[in-house]
Structure 1
Amino acid sequence: MGPRPRKKWSIYTRPDIITKYEVLERVGFGAYSDVYRARRLSDNLVVALKEVHDYQSAFREIEALEILHNSPNVVVLHEYLWWEDGNEDVVLVLEYLRTDLATVVREAERDGRGIGIGELKRWMVQILCGVDACHRNGIVHRDLKPGNLLVSDDGVLKIADFGQARILLEPGYAAAYNDPQLYEQNFENLENTLDNSSEMHISSSCLATCSRSDVEDDRQGCFTSLAGTRGFMAPELFYGSTDYGLEIDLWSLGCIFAELFTLEPLFPVTAHIDQLTRICSVLGNLTEDVWPACSKFHAYKKISINKVANPIGLEACLANRSHEEISLVKRLVCYDPARRATAMELLRDMYFRDQEPPPPPPQVPLSDL
């Protein structure tokens, strides 16, 4: 998608909007969307109006959210508005959640209090439930990070920003997911599913708070190889993989969990090559011994990274954390996508027994959002 088109109307004056909503203020913006806090006139419900400046991108997000409409850990789409007047803007009316997990982490780090074990587990369970719902429906989010995990005033965490999401599989996949054996077969055969798909769409989108992909999806059903946000992107993306699946979300989960444990990014970087270097310093060099399929990527032999004789390991990154917590991250942050634990598998882990919903997060002034 090119530069933002010239706006032909204002969200503050459009009759279709102002007859139903009072637009209060803009609370977020980016190259491809703007987000406003608004009040629904019929019942005074506070909502988020997200104006996306490309209708194909917007309807991709709409499709994912409508599929996930009964998922308690996914943001609610109330309705959407669009107009056949030559303007590509679409307005999504979303559940309004005024803070996110990135703010929770930032506040805990600033206060020096950390996040207690019980609260940690409750956040993690909710993240896993949301990701599990996505993956049950064959939806890969592609941009999981703390800033895209919104939190309600009563402590409910919800996945948001589905602007880069893709629907990978046919509807029957949801039924297979409920059978662990069939699910694992599906999970391992995602590449075949993608290769044979004739209905994979191509548009990419961006929300006010997410990063736009560097390369658009092509017209043969392949995905962009650089989707997501640096620091949370799986290594296969840097090597040019375009037939990835749910596994890239699982790597992102591991990075999020590590940040919850330490209050610091697992891979703090400013450039793509920096992240690969950082990953190698922790996990060691990527070779066919640890991931036999890695050599098939066109960039594998083109990217040169100094050999790491003594990788520090995830244990060093998670100092003072329990064996169980380190093990959880290791099950997600590993080179071979086929070895990454699914959200469903982690939800069954003994680590998450007897967890209640997390407590409400600290109140965050709207000016800070």
Structure 2
Amino acid sequence: MDPPPKTWSIHTRSEITAKYQVLSRVGSGVYADVYCARRLSDGAAVGLKEVHDSQSASREIEALRLLKGSRNVVVLHEFFWREDEDAVLVLEFLGTDLATVIGEGGVGVAEAKRWMVQALSAVDECHRNMIVHRDLKPANFLVSDDGVLKLADFGQARILVESGFDAPQENPPPYEDDASNSESSLQHPEAISQLVNLNQTVYENPNQGTVSHEEYFRVLDEMKTKSYSYDTDKDTNIYDGNTSCLATCTTSDIDDDLCKGSFTYEAEEVGGNELGCLTSCVGTRWFRAPELLYGSTDYGLEVDLWSLGCVFAELLTSKPLFPGTSDVDQLSRIVSVLGNINEETWPGCSKIPDYGSISLGNVENPSGLEACMPNCSPNEVSLVQRLVCYDPAKRTTAMELLQDKYFSEEPLPVPISELRVPLTRNGQDQDSPGGHNGMGSDSDLEEFGTLNITTTGSDLSIQIP
């Protein structure tokens, strides 16, 4: 007998309606619906994200829990999860995003520097906690009314954890990797409370200071040899084709069918000393790193650095750097600018699954990034070039860029209070990457505090006051 269908509606859930007035649905997709709501206790605007996939929900919750208190990461106020219902995340509701800032054009150098510094700070926080976001793009950087940039939408994020991690008996690992179980163990309230109390093992730089590029990637290589892995991507290609998430504010790729017309592959389990189950079928095409376009399932934090370079180029020029129409076209556009992909320009590229099956032809005279950024200074072109390079190990880390002299030279980054913040999102075409509905709101900048857990029967509410 098939299980009863889920209602997928927050309007009938008393534990939510007792605290929030649901105003309207502002985004809808296969895997999530997003609502604008008002908190009854103080009238603050919030976003309610109802996630229909349990693994995506658990990953987003855990990533935001690890990043609590980060100034440049969206705030998770609380979440609700019932045994027979979807997870509902209560997130701060921000009125605009970096895509809208770019869309309005005319971003000055000093302003662009401040936006970039904030974006780098957000990514650095993620990477210090071994979180790879995997969908960095302008629409996923939200902007508060007072100019604070916040990274959102961690539904595709992965947390680097020790595969052999033995939690105490009362706190089992939060993710269920058993392929025979299509639902995460976090679907049950008891498991959710265990998630909250779990002392997650993650890498942290003991000095919390400057580390060299070589040391940064040496640590990553060391983790691989010690059999660290990402939590599995098996059966969890989470994509909301046209979902506008004003709480997490993203619209994923343009295809109705995630992999239609593109060379993308399901990850297979990898044993030995390789990174665990990852999929190349992530992110938004225009910002997707070449290793993902070639079907790699053995990648790391560096995919975020490529995406960040594409974001910065678009911020500086008001145009997307590589606006491909398919994965092959995306690779072709990249090669036409940066040159041929081979063992000389990218050692080890020939070992990536689809390298030998995608023929792009030989490009004798690549245009170079300068041609894509005609009105930008050499320093600005160099900044993007250090992120958008073929060899992942040569991409400059967010930590390194935050200390780059570019940000300490004139013109200096403007104070956050002087940034020009659009009142609402622009009404972009939802069939294009980064498209969204326009919707303004007040920001609610509460931070994480002590967790208050309340249970009533099979209901669970976890509040972060």
Same structural fold, with TM-score higher than 0.5 when normalized by the shorter chain:
yes
2:205 paired with 1:175: yes
Alignment of 1:230-269 (within 5 A): 230-269=285-324
- Partner residue of 1:286 out of 341, 344, 360: 341
Report the counterpart of residue 252 of structure 2 in structure 1: 210
Aligned equivalents of 1:273, 1:297: Cα separation in 2: 15
Shift of 1:267: 0.3
Aligned equivalents of 1:192, 1:240: Cα separation in 2: 23
Shift of 1:186: 4.6
**Equivalent pair of 2:96/2:143 in contact (CA under 8 Å):** yes
Report the counterpart of residue 222 of structure 1 in structure 2: 277
Aligned equivalents of 1:350, 1:9: Cα separation in 2: 50
Q: Secondary structure of the residue that 1:309 maps to in structure 2?
A: coil
Q: Secondary structure of the residue that 1:36 maps to in structure 2?
A: strand
Aligned equivalents of 1:216, 1:246: Cα separation in 2: 19
Q: 1:206 to 1:177 in 2, by over 3 A?
A: farther
Q: 1:6 to 1:150 in 2, by over 3 A?
A: farther
Report the counterpart of residue 374 of structure 2 in structure 1: 319
Shift of 1:69: 0.8
Alignment of 1:81-92 (within 5 A): 81-85=80-84, 87=85, 89-92=86-89
More helix by share: 1
Pairwise CA RMSD of aligned residues?
Answer: 2.2
Q: Secondary structure of the residue that 2:104 maps to in structure 1?
A: helix
- Partner residue of 2:91 out of 91, 94, 97: 94
Report the counterpart of residue 121 of structure 2 in structure 1: 129
Note the alpha carbon deviations across 1:332-353, whole angstroms, 9 max, x for none.
0100111100001101011112
Q: Secondary structure of the residue that 1:265 maps to in structure 2?
A: coil
Report the counterpart of residue 438 of structure 2 in structure 1: 368
**Equivalent pair of 1:194/1:222 in contact (CA under 8 Å):** no
Report the counterpart of residue 329 of structure 1 in structure 2: 384
**Equivalent pair of 1:136/1:177 in contact (CA under 8 Å):** no
Q: 1:83 to 1:292 in 2, by over 3 A?
A: same
Shift of 1:183: 7.3
**Equivalent pair of 2:76/2:92 in contact (CA under 8 Å):** yes
Q: Secondary structure of the residue that 1:175 maps to in structure 2?
A: coil
Report the counterpart of residue 111 of structure 1 in structure 2: none
Q: Secondary structure of the residue that 1:260 maps to in structure 2?
A: helix
Report the counterpart of residue 147 of structure 2 in structure 1: 155
Equivalent AA in structure 2 for residue 167 of structure 1: I
TM-score where L is the length of structure 1: 0.91
Report the counterpart of residue 167 of structure 2 in structure 1: none
Equivalent AA in structure 1 for residue 232 of structure 2: H
Aligned equivalents of 1:177, 1:331: Cα separation in 2: 25
Report the counterpart of residue 350 of structure 1 in structure 2: 405
Q: 1:20 to 1:123 in 2, by over 3 A?
A: same
Q: Secondary structure of the residue that 2:316 maps to in structure 1?
A: helix
Aligned equivalents of 2:399, 2:155: Cα separation in 1: 24
Aligned equivalents of 1:134, 1:368: Cα separation in 2: 28
Q: 1:198 to 1:226 in 2, by over 3 A?
A: closer
2:46 paired with 1:50: no
Aligned equivalents of 1:22, 1:360: Cα separation in 2: 31
Shift of 1:295: 1.2
TM-score where L is the length of structure 2: 0.73
Q: 1:351 to 1:198 in 2, by over 3 A?
A: closer
Aligned equivalents of 1:177, 1:245: Cα separation in 2: 22
Shift of 1:184: 4.0
Shift of 1:275: 0.6
Q: Secondary structure of the residue that 1:301 maps to in structure 2?
A: helix
**Equivalent pair of 1:230/1:272 in contact (CA under 8 Å):** yes
**Equivalent pair of 1:204/1:217 in contact (CA under 8 Å):** no
Shift of 1:204: 4.4
Structure 2: tracts of 5 or more residues without a match: 163-200, 244-250, 271-275, 428-436, 440-465
Report the counterpart of residue 132 of structure 2 in structure 1: 140
Note the alpha carbon deviations across 1:206-233, whole angstroms, 9 max, x for none.
4632346865544442210221111100
Report the counterpart of residue 31 of structure 1 in structure 2: 30
Q: Secondary structure of the residue that 2:48 maps to in structure 1?
A: strand
